[in-house]
Structure 1
Amino acid sequence: MKSARITRTHEPLEVQQLDIPKPMGPQVLVKVNSSGVCHSDIHLWDGGYEGLDGQLLKTTDRGVKYPLTPGHEISGMVEDLGDQAEGFSKNEKVIVYPWIGEGLCPACRSGEENLCDKPRSLGIYLDGGYSEYVLVPSYKYLVKISDELDMDAAATLSCSALTAYGAVKNAKLKPSDNVVIVGTGGLGLMAIQLARAVTGARIIALDIDDDKLKTAKESGANDVINSKKEDPVKAIMKLTNNLGADAVIDFVNASKTVETDMEFLRRRARVVLVGLFGGELKLGLVSVPTRAYRLIGSYTGTINDLVELVSLTERGVIKPVISNRFKLEESTQALTMLKEGKIIGRGVIKP
């Protein structure tokens, strides 16, 4: 089988010929139809994340090993099953839940494998979906989808939509709330759709790109603000009658964006940090208890959340925005375009 692999950080991915794995026990072999291109893949390609004082937090220090086949947003067809795999048949359409835990930590035992102490996620710690086939460790990580659901859109549910859904849930939005969505790429657009459909809150989208903001408006944002062209703090305070935002979901999560977030918060506001851009934040600590802010980190979602997302998508409540499709040989181009901000919505690789 052909797989696009990161063999060295910062260098073009290599398309290699590998043996097709044979599933054993509860394992399932999935023939990949689509694999979403995610910002997390860029961090794997770069070899790390920006930490405090600009220091690189290396992926290898987190247990990532190269060469690696990235890709954790995977849709496809069941190709083969181990002798202990149940509930699925060859050629069934599925989405893969990639956030696999070791099964024994408190998070895993409570159904939150995405927050496992020793994660084994596909496309990060195990070979993923930039490949013609992917070996899934157990049938329990598969979710069936209907024949009517677009396979490209379905792939993005397991990270882009799942991460957005988890963030919206963590924001605990009410219909009377004003929520600011910072960053209107693929995740931000999905969060706008979900917040509108599930919570009824008033949505204010914040970005520096007019084209992305136009798409955000079309996706359901009530108001949009280009922070390059106007002061976002003044604009948000004006929109909220000088009360401030009840919640912020920051899909960038860089020093500058979070510093700005803290300037337009209402008392009791929730700040949900999702993006992995990195940096550091200086806080006036007295204001945290006196204004009762809540700073919340949000990382993907549970497999039950994914099942809910499939239902929402199949009923047309949400519609993932697929803007770019790439061949396996174009994986480096896909990552480069995403890194340069040239993908509006979500890109997928089609092996």
Structure 2
Amino acid sequence: MPAPAGHPHMGRGPMSLGMMRSFRLERFGAPLCEVVEPVPVPQGTEVLVRVSACGLCHSDLHFVDGHFDLGQGRRLELSHVGPPRVLGHEIVGEVVAAGPQAAGVPVGARRLVYPWIGCGTCRMCRSGLDNYCSRSRSLGVRMDGGFSTHVLVPHPRYLVDFSGIPEHVACTCACSGLTAYSALRKVSLAVSDDSLLLIGAGGVGLACVYLAHLLLRADPVVADIDPAKRAAAQAAGASLAVDPGEEGIARRLLERTEGGFAAVIDFVGTQSTAEFGMSLLRRGGRLVSVGLVGGSVEVALPLLAVRTIMLQGSYVGSLDELKELIDVLRTRGAYPLPITPRPLDEANAALDDLRAGRVVGRTVLVP
């Protein structure tokens, strides 16, 4: 059968697209395994992307472990991840083939992949909030992701033009940048000057430092236990970077802010970071919890009313928010997030370094 016009790869056998190489999670708690298999032929609305870069995310460690820590000995098991599953959700690459119902993205186009894909039919998805879908099909989570030479994307609407932005920065926008951007949007009306505290200066926290300056004209205060990450935060524009474990630091920050911060974004998500953040909110302040490291906190309910504080979660961001973020970086300049490229062959070593806290900024795997 001849290939449909505009889709030169369609109609051929599975081997016609060659072979692909992936690093796949075969069982929880084990290193990723290298797998070589035929490149899949896209069907229907699917688009095949040749991966040129894929960022590593701390959540990849949770997917390897197979659970989230809920505190007090409780765990959220991640059986929905697979295995087997190819991880990786910060993906950029080149369109190399498309199914017969895929339209609007030509072969050869370079695109950023939005990975937080929903079912497409529920109320959340119809509202453009795929990331809130309870029947998620997210790449690198429920579907194979970007620790590979190729990835199948279910529909061309999830492909975003990132022209004008370096691809190693663009790929991190799919999670790191998007998560920071969406969290900032939730506190933007409350923040001015240095009334914003960011807890955690990993890849997402550093992206937020840059974006806070770009979007809010605010230079946030950053708290992190790692001296190297505090230094990176100050280099990124933080007005102050502190060790949350330093004796008396909470009192000094309360004095500096005349009663506390208008907003705190916790990019770590442990009992100690959440309690530290809540203790530093001014009346009417808001804590946005982003990090997934794990734990739980006890909240005195009367104080929620008396202090009129708000606790809110934030999970990555929508497709529209990703497009907004790319427009911001294209217009105002891509942020100089520290990025370390590593060959795809080093996927396991890169995950080990991330787990050990040896990564400043973001690591990007390059097939």
Q: TM-score if structure 2 supplies the norm length?
A: 0.92
Identify the residue that residue 65 of structure 1 maps to in structure 2: 82
Partners of 2:283 and 2:333 lie apart in 1 by: 32
Partners of 2:338 and 2:218 lie apart in 1 by: 25
Identify the residue that residue 28 of structure 2 maps to in structure 1: 9
Letter in 1 for 2:44: G
Equivalent residues in 2 for 1:252-331, closer than 5 Å: 252-331=268-347
Aligned with 2:168 (options 152, 156, 160):
152
Identify the residue that residue 142 of structure 1 maps to in structure 2: 159
SS at match of 1:216: helix
Q: 1:183 touches 1:205 (CA, 8 Å); kept in 2?
A: yes
Identify the residue that residue 116 of structure 2 maps to in structure 1: 99
Letter in 2 for 1:59: L
Partners of 2:251 and 2:66 lie apart in 1 by: 38
Deviation of residue 21 (structure 1)?
0.8
- Note if 1:123 corresponds to 2:162: no
CA 150–317 in structure 1, closer or farther in 2 if over 3 Å, else same: closer
SS at match of 1:159: helix
When structure 1 is superposed on structure 2, of 322-331 and 150-159 the one drifting more is 322-331
Identify the residue that residue 52 of structure 1 maps to in structure 2: 71
Q: 1:323 touches 1:343 (CA, 8 Å); kept in 2?
A: no
Q: 1:156 touches 1:320 (CA, 8 Å); kept in 2?
A: no
Q: 1:7 touches 1:14 (CA, 8 Å); kept in 2?
A: yes
Partners of 1:167 and 1:194 lie apart in 2 by: 11
Q: 2:191 touches 2:262 (CA, 8 Å); kept in 1?
A: no
Partners of 2:332 and 2:118 lie apart in 1 by: 31
Identify the residue that residue 60 of structure 2 maps to in structure 1: 41
Computing the radius of gyration from Cα coordinates, the structure with the larger value is 2
Tell me the number of residue pairs that the alignment of Structure 1 and Structure 2 aligns: 347
Aligned with 2:361 (options 331, 345, 349):
345
Letter in 1 for 2:237: G
Identify the residue that residue 199 of structure 2 maps to in structure 1: 182
Identify the residue that residue 82 of structure 1 maps to in structure 2: 99
Deviation of residue 56 (structure 1)?
2.3
Identify the residue that residue 231 of structure 1 maps to in structure 2: 248
CA 230–224 in structure 1, closer or farther in 2 if over 3 Å, else same: farther
Partners of 1:221 and 1:176 lie apart in 2 by: 11
Question: Which runs of no fewer than 5 residues in structure 1 stay unpaired?
Answer: none
Partners of 2:338 and 2:41 lie apart in 1 by: 32
Identity among equivalent pairs (%): 38
When structure 1 is superposed on structure 2, of 210-219 and 117-126 the one drifting more is 210-219
Partners of 1:193 and 1:230 lie apart in 2 by: 28
Letter in 1 for 2:286: R
When structure 1 is superposed on structure 2, of 170-179 and 45-54 the one drifting more is 170-179
Deviation of residue 229 (structure 1)?
3.3
Identify the residue that residue 110 of structure 1 maps to in structure 2: 127
Identify the residue that residue 49 of structure 2 maps to in structure 1: 30
Letter in 1 for 2:21: K
Identify the residue that residue 149 of structure 2 maps to in structure 1: 132
Letter in 1 for 2:98: L
Deviation of residue 176 (structure 1)?
4.9
Q: 1:186 touches 1:345 (CA, 8 Å); kept in 2?
A: yes
Aligned with 1:222 (options 233, 236, 239):
239
Q: 1:27 touches 1:138 (CA, 8 Å); kept in 2?
A: yes
- Note if 1:163 corresponds to 2:182: no
Partners of 1:18 and 1:171 lie apart in 2 by: 46
SS at match of 2:181: helix
SS at match of 2:363: strand
Letter in 1 for 2:37: L
Partners of 2:91 and 2:49 lie apart in 1 by: 9
Partners of 1:256 and 1:193 lie apart in 2 by: 25
* 1:17-37 Cα deviation digits (max 9, x unpaired): 122011112110000000000
Partners of 1:132 and 1:320 lie apart in 2 by: 26
Alpha carbon RMSD of aligned pairs, Å?
Answer: 1.3
When structure 1 is superposed on structure 2, of 35-44 and 306-315 the one drifting more is 306-315
* 1:124-175 Cα deviation digits (max 9, x unpaired): 00000000000000001000121x4211111101100000001111123433
When structure 1 is superposed on structure 2, of 314-323 and 247-256 the one drifting more is 314-323
CA 114–189 in structure 1, closer or farther in 2 if over 3 Å, else same: same
Runs of 4+ in 1 over 6 A off after TM superposition: none
Q: 1:32 touches 1:134 (CA, 8 Å); kept in 2?
A: yes
